[in-house]
A and B are shown apart, each in its own frame.
Chain A
Amino acid sequence: IAGITQAPTSQILAAGRRMTLRCTQDMRHNAMYWYRQDLGLGLRLIHYSNTAGTTGKGEVPDGYSVSRANTDDFPLTLASAVPSQTSVYFCASSARGGQTEAFFGQGTRLTVV
C-alpha cells in the first residue's frame, strides 16, 4: 500500500543518547516534513525539505537535524536527546513544496527519560 512509513513506532530513549527517526515514502512526492505533536499545542513543524538535496528549518528546529539524500527518505536525528523532546513525531509528504500536506505517517511516540 502506497504511503508513508515511519520507524520505530515507539521508543524509550535515555537522555543524552542519539536517535534517528526514519521516514520513507513511496509516492515520489517532492516535499517532506517532520512535525512534533504535543498535547494542547497541535502539530509544530520541525524541519522540511521541498526537494531532494534541500532542507529548511521549521518552527521548532533546535535539537534536531535532517537530511534528504534522495526523494524517498527523510530521517530526523536527535543528536543528544533531552526530556523535552518527548513527543509524538509525524512525518508527512506532499507532491510539491507549498502544496497540501495530504499524507501523514502513523507517527513515532518517543519518550526521553
Chain B
Amino acid sequence: GQQLNQSPQSMFIQEGEDVSMNCTSSSIFNTWLWYKQEPGEGPVLLIALYKAGELTSNGRLTAQFGITRKDSFLNISASIPSDVGIYFCAGRFSGSARQLTFGSGTQLTVLP
C-alpha cells in the first residue's frame, strides 16, 4: 500500500518556539490534510490542502502542499501549552478509491 513518512516522531520544545513537521510519500498525492489528536479524543482536522504549492494558514498554523505533490509540511508558530498532542498528516493519492492514508504521527510536547 501507499506509505507516508512523517517526521519527527516526537518533539520537545519550549513555549514560544516555532515548530515544523513534515510528511513525504512514495506516490503523488492530490490531497494533503493535517489533523491533531488529544488524549482520549478523535483526530480533529486542522488544515486541508488540495493544490500543489498551496499554502494555507489557520491561526498560528501554516501548512503547504509540496510542488512535487509528494510532501507537505506543518508549521506552528509561537507554541503554547495547548498545542500539546499528536499531529497526523494524511493524504489521498491519485488512483486510490479516494481513501486517506495516514502518517504515524508527531507527538508534540510544549515545555513551560
Determine the chain B residues whose CB is within 8 A of the CB of A107 once the complex forms.
Answer: 40-42
Whether B103 is near chain A, meaning CB under 8 Å from some CB there, is yes
Q: Is the CB of B48 within 8 A of A106?
A: no
Task: Give the A-B pair count, Cβ closer than 8 A.
Answer: 51
Interface size on B, residues (CB 8 A): 24
Q: Could you mark each residue 18-46 of chain A with 1 if its beta carbon is under 8 Å from any beta carbon of chain B, else 0?
A: 00000000000000010100001111110
B→A interface (CB under 8 Å): 1, 4, 6, 31, 33, 40-45, 48, 88, 90, 92, 97-105
CB neighbours of B104 from chain A (8 A): 40-42
Please name the residue on chain B nearest to A41 by beta carbon.
Answer: B104
Cβ contact within 8 Å between A45 and B42: no
Which listed residue, A41, A101, A105, touches B100 by the CB 8 Å rule? A101
